[in-house]
Amino acid sequence: MTDQAKKSALLPVTRVSGRPIPLPGNDIDTDRIIPARFMTAITFDGLGELAFRDARFGADGKPIEHPMNDPRFQAKGPRVAIVNKNFGCGSSREHAPQAMWRWGVQALVGESFADIFFGNCVAMGIPCVTASEADVTALQRAVEADPSQDLVVDLDAMTATRGGTSVPVSMPEGARTQLLRGTWDATRILVDALPKVRETADRLPYVGGFAR
């Protein structure tokens, strides 16, 4: 059974608490998160080790400076990534959030997210919340200075809290509702309406080959 299937549907995601890790930079594309050469496989297994591979290791295989290599950010357990603008742009590859999730990232706080990446995360039960540029930058700095305190993303209160400090975060209402109600895995809900789906299909002239 895949990990994804184990993380069963109808599991509300209201609050994610984890070790924060800043992944600074705008327009971080999904090729950067998981290079295509690691996608020649029929499962998502083992992608965690390969997340940000080329940003973390040089051609000689030696580690280069990157937050994911920084000893201060190696504590095990759930993690919350702090990112900047347009995170996850480019390729639709779900391998990208799958790699991050397998590396422990269970929530992201950022200035903005690319549409497909955001949708993929929702479908995996990973909240991506946005905060203002000032709050995100301040949070990244604070975490750099002291990585030891957990960051808590609360979808009820719509806050990201670290130590005694909370900042307001936002998320499109639809996605938030899905996470809070545990309906982020949409498959069952969609399948439930199959009779209505067939009615909709029957009303579309092209489905019948424009026979009428």
70-109: contacts with another protein (CB under 8 A): 84-86, 89-95, 97-98
Name the nearest CA neighbour of 80 among 25, 134, 139: 139
Considering the complex, what minimum distance in angstroms separates the CB of residue 27 from another protein?
A: 5
- Of the pair 101, 103, the CB lying nearest another protein is at 101
Taking the complex as a whole, how short is the minimal distance between the CB of residue 136 and another protein, in angstroms? 11
User: Judged by CB, which is closer to another protein: 51, or 152?
Assistant: 51
Cα separation of 211 and 36, whole Å?
43
Closer CB to another protein, residue 76 or residue 212?
A: 212
Please report whether residue 138 would count as binding another protein according to CB under 8 A: no
Instruction: Determine the interface stretch with another protein among 15-23, 65-73, 153-161, 197-205 (rule: CB under 8 A).
Output: 197-205
- Residues numbered 43-72 forming contacts with another protein, rule: CB under 8 A: 43-44, 54, 59
Question: Min. distance of Cβ 70 from another protein in angstroms?
Answer: 18
- Give dist(CA 157, CA 48) in Å, integer: 30
Does the CA dihedral 65-71-75-76 come out positive or negative? positive
Give the x/- contact pattern for another protein in 8-37, rule: CB under 8 A: -----------------xxx-x-xx--xxx
The answer to whether 204 and 211 are in contact (CB under 8 A) is no
DSSP conformation class of 61: S
Find the shortest distance in angstroms from Cβ 180 to another protein: 9
- Please report whether residue 186 would count as binding another protein according to CB under 8 A: yes
How many other C-beta atoms lie within 10 A of the C-beta of residue 72?
13
Cα 200 from Cα 205, distance rounded (Å): 10
Question: Quick one: 43 or 170, whose CB is closer to another protein?
Answer: 43
Task: Let me know: does 153 contact 109? Beta carbons within 8 Å.
Answer: yes
Instruction: Closer to another protein by CB, 43 or 165: give it.
Output: 43
* Tokens standing for residue 187: 């498959």
Cβ proximity to another protein, 133 vs 146, nearer residue: 133
CB of 204 to another protein, least distance (A): 6
Exposed e or buried b for every residue in 34-44, given b needs 16+ CB within 10 A? bbeebeeeeeb
CB 169 within 8 A of CB 127: no
